[in-house]
Amino acid sequence: MKTVDQCTRSLAWWLISELDWWGIEAPLVAMLCSLCCSIVLLVPLYYVLRYIWELFVIGDLQNKPVFITGCDSGFGRQLALKLASNGIPVFAGCLTEKGEDSLRKDSQGLQGKLQTVALDVTNDESVVKAAETVKNSLKGKDLWAVVNNAGIFSIYGPDDWCTIDEYRRSIDVNLLGVIRVSQAFKPFVKKSKGRIVTVSSVAGRYTSACTGPYSTAKYAVESYMDAIR
Ligand SMILES: NC(=O)c1ccc[n+]([C@@H]2O[C@H](COP(=O)([O-])OP(=O)(O)OC[C@H]3O[C@@H](n4cnc5c(N)ncnc54)[C@H](OP(=O)(O)O)[C@@H]3O)[C@@H](O)[C@H]2O)c1
């Protein structure tokens, strides 16, 4: 039986003999064939490894509470409902009462208990109060994870149009909000040897001309996470 390497070579040499007539260089063809064969092998390998990885199930979910910020809408809300439907106790930080009410309604009947917590990440007191509420509600359990999700996309436009207030607002929510919450909840996560997950953005690695306030905050949040890693 031929090995993969032998197949690659046969294919390369067949192509070389065919393409030689067109004046295309043999090493180039050989290189392209190797590349194609590597891709053909690596893609299925990736999916097989990923499938195996996903077979591992984390156990004891009902004893692994998670705190999430920004659960009124979007990713935070989706995550809160998803975790609760898998049996994980969730503390869902919500900015508004309306958000809390609708999340409570939507989480009724889910396997895991979802408790909403009033939270404005721009307000020191609100963050400290949320941490106390979570601490008093843990009832002997350890907090397994914190998800810093709350964020705003404050403005879209070139820097000439952006005011200092718009930068300030973006930094207050997207950066200082993450720092406030991480510092207030870090003792719980240290005790449980858990984790802090922060939702950053591609804007924290790449800046376009029109995303100044958002990108500066997201770059800084990447840096903060590196600092506490
Ligand atoms: N959507 C994307 O394409 C995208 C891409 C990359 C990264 N992200 C990041 O993903 C995260 C979630 O984004 P999303 O798209 O789900 O946005 P979203 O729907 O606007 O959700 C953000 C949540 O944060 C809440 N929030 C805003 N200010 C807050 C504050 N001061 N304190 C506490 N909560 C506050 C919002 O509450 P209200 O609804 O009451 O305002 C909302 O529930 C953000 O960090 C964002 O930067 C999003």
Q: pLDDT by residue (tens digit) across 24-55?
A: 666 766 777 778 878 889 999 999 999 999 89
The mean pLDDT value for 199-213 works out to 96
Find the 42 Cα to ligand 1 centroid distance in Å.
36
Give dist(CA 175, CA 218) in Å, integer: 7
Residues in the ligand 1 pocket, defined by CB under 6 Å: 69-70, 72-76, 95-96, 99, 119-122, 149-152, 173, 199, 201
Helix%, strand%, coil% for the chain, nearest 5: 60, 10, 30
137 contact partners, CB below 8 Å, separation of at least 6: 91, 115
Q: Which atom of ligand 1 is nearest to the CA of 121?
A: 32
Write out the two tokens for 209: 């001309």
Q: Which atom of ligand 1 is nearest to the CA of 153?
A: 47
Find the 124 Cα to ligand 1 centroid distance in Å.
19
Q: What is this structure's pTM?
A: 0.83
Does position 77 have pLDDT exceeding 90, yes or no?
yes
16 — pLDDT class (breaks 50, 70, 90)? low
Does position 171 have pLDDT exceeding 70, yes or no?
yes
73 contact partners, CB below 8 Å, separation of at least 6: 99
Find the 176 Cα to ligand 1 centroid distance in Å.
14
Give dist(CA 56, CA 120) in Å, integer: 36
Going through 21-121 in order, the beta strands assigned E by DSSP cover: 66-68, 90-94, 114-118
Q: What is the pLDDT of residues 99-126, one digit of tens each?
A: 999 999 999 999 999 999 999 999 999 9
Known catalytic residue: 156? no
